[in-house]
Each structure stands twice: as structure tokens, then as C-alpha cells.
Amino acid sequence: MKITEHLKNAKSTLFSFEILPPLKGQSLKELLEGIAPLMEFKPPFVDVTYHREEFIYKKHPNGLLEKVSTKKRPGTVGICAAIMNRFHVDAVPHLLCGGFTREETENALIDLNFIGVDNVLALRGDAPKGERFLPEPEGHSFATELVEQILRMNNGRYLHEETENSYHTDFCIGVAGYPEKHFEAPSMKFDLKYLKEKVDKGAEYIVTQMFFDNKKYFEYVDKVRAAGITVPIIPGIKPIATLGQITSLPRTFFLDLPDALMDDLEKCKTNAEVKEVGIAWSVAQCKELIAANVPSLHFYTMSKADTTYKIAKEVF
């Protein structure tokens, strides 16, 4: 079922979450067993992230170069199928511009449609570390273009065919939004202009980057609405769980940790203490967001379900 229908049918704030495919060489069984307890909170959908494929050239003693994939977390499509089979919930694969040609995107969408996926989150993806984002030759530069391609397929139009096909996809498309602005955008106004373009082209809902200060989410929603965007805006929640995340999350995701949260985190000496502070902070955040009747609380579990479970137990 489409995310938009889940949201329309909901009588109160929903619970949803995102997982990462396991590292190459690790089992899916563990991941599925790990998230099984979260089914208690009846998530209508689970997102599965996508990680771009990058290649390096390895030189052999005979002088020949071998192209080697460094992809660390393959399996998004297969995991979606496994989640739908095992838990009977919708799986939402993330689809990237980066690393894909248009043809590969078309083929991935056909696979997803055939396994019964109804929703996709359309994203640009990040550049490899220290580089500028570059599309594949024949790939997309911005998420908007990916949204357009998905919509064309929904209308029965494939890449090399001008005529409409009788069999067509019917994906509900989500896109990303940034309460603290996307780091490359020179201003929030600029960022919102392109968010509007994604929605005008066919995106039906927005999932936000994680944030730790609800005020930023509420102000963002006001700005998005003022820009003329009316689709649901699902807040992304990430409980801080380790000492390392106190510096890595702001650095990686270009966000601020509020002073009050930092005051508590600075007293922590162990990961266990950080986790406790992180859970208490997220619980308070979630309670306020539920009171504001947000569509769903979407947890970035990073495939560690225990923290999310404890928070959900307190707020749902």
C-alpha cells in the first residue's frame, strides 16, 4: 500500500523506521531478528537504505588491472522482499541518482515493481568522501530528475519508447527534506525552491533529515508550507547512542545539538550513559511531536533496534 494511504488512514501518529543492509559478508537473519521486536508497534512501512557502488582498480603482479567493487552494503532490493514476506509490512527502498545510469534505474524499478514494492524514496546520494557529487554518464544530477523518471514509468513511459505501455508502475514517491538546510544549499530559500520542484514533479511525501531540536522541525514545516508545499512531512528521529556520535552526527549530517542536550551529554563517560541520555532526549522529542500530531515518527535505527524499542515503548 502507498505511504500516502497509510498516512491518510492513520488515526494518530504512526511508527516507522529505517534500516541499513548488513555489511557484505554478514547475515540478513540477524538483521531481521533484530528488528522483529519493533513489529510490536505496528510500523506500516520500513525503509531500507541504498549504498552506492564504488570501484577501485587493483594492480596484480602481472601488471593487469582488476576493477573491484568496494560496495559495503549491497542487497537493498532483496531485503525489501524479505521484509515484506516475513513481516507483511511495506518496504520502502531508497533509490539514488549517484552510481546509477537511467537504464539501471529503470531496471531497478522494474525489479521493485515485480516484487510488489509500492513506494520508493528518491534521493540524489552523496559524493564519495572529499569529492564533489558527479552523476554517472547517462545518470541523474538531482533527485528531481529521478522523481521525473519514476513518474514517467508510472505513466507507462520507458526510456527508449515513445509509446505508452499498457503495463505501468504505480510508485508513491517520497523525497528528503532538511530542517537545518542541505549542506550544499547556499540558503534555506534556495533549498526549499528545489524541494518544491521535487514535489511539483510528483513526490507525495517528505522524510526529514534527523534533528534534535523540535523547534527546528516546526519552523521548517512553517517554511515549507509558506513555500506552497502541502504534502506530509515525516520527522526523522535519531537517538544518540555512543560517545563517538556526539561529534560524528553533527559533522556527517550538518546539524546542531541543542545546548540542553549537550549539557547532559558532556557529563557522560561511557556509551551506556550516552545511550540513556539519548533515549530520554528522544522520548521527550517524540512526545512533543506526537502532541503536534505529526504523520509518523520515523526512526533512524542504523539497524540497532534496542534503543528505538525502548523509546517506542514509552511513547506509543
Catalog residues that contact ligand FAD under the rule CB under 6 A: 49-52, 94, 96, 123-126, 142-144, 176, 182, 184-185, 190-191, 194, 198, 207, 209, 236
Shortest distance in whole angstroms from residue 56 CB to ligand FAD: 18
User: In this structure, are residues 204 and 157 in contact, taking their beta carbons and an 8 Å threshold?
Assistant: no
Give me the catalytic one of 5, 18, 106, 138: 18
Which whole-number Å values give the CA distances from 177 to 80, 101, 201, 220, 229, in the listed order? 23, 24, 15, 9, 12
Q: Which is nearer to ligand FAD, 61 or 130 (CB)?
A: 130
Q: Which is nearer to ligand FAD, 94 or 275 (CB)?
A: 94
CB count, 10 Å around CB of 227? 15
Is position 273 annotated as part of the catalytic site? no
Q: Which is nearer to ligand FAD, 48 or 268 (CB)?
A: 48
User: In this structure, are residues 278 and 241 in contact, taking their beta carbons and an 8 Å threshold?
Assistant: yes
Residue from 138, 215, 148, 139 nearest 175 by CA: 148
Shortest distance in whole angstroms from residue 176 CB to ligand FAD: 3
Residue from 143, 123, 24, 19 nearest 79 by CA: 19
Shortest distance in whole angstroms from residue 185 CB to ligand FAD: 4
First to last CA, the chain: 22
Shortest distance in whole angstroms from residue 72 CB to ligand FAD: 12
Residue from 263, 260, 311 nearest 289 by CA: 311
User: In this structure, are residues 218 and 292 in contact, taking their beta carbons and an 8 Å threshold?
Assistant: yes
Q: Which is nearer to ligand FAD, 21 or 278 (CB)?
A: 21
Residues involved in catalysis: 18
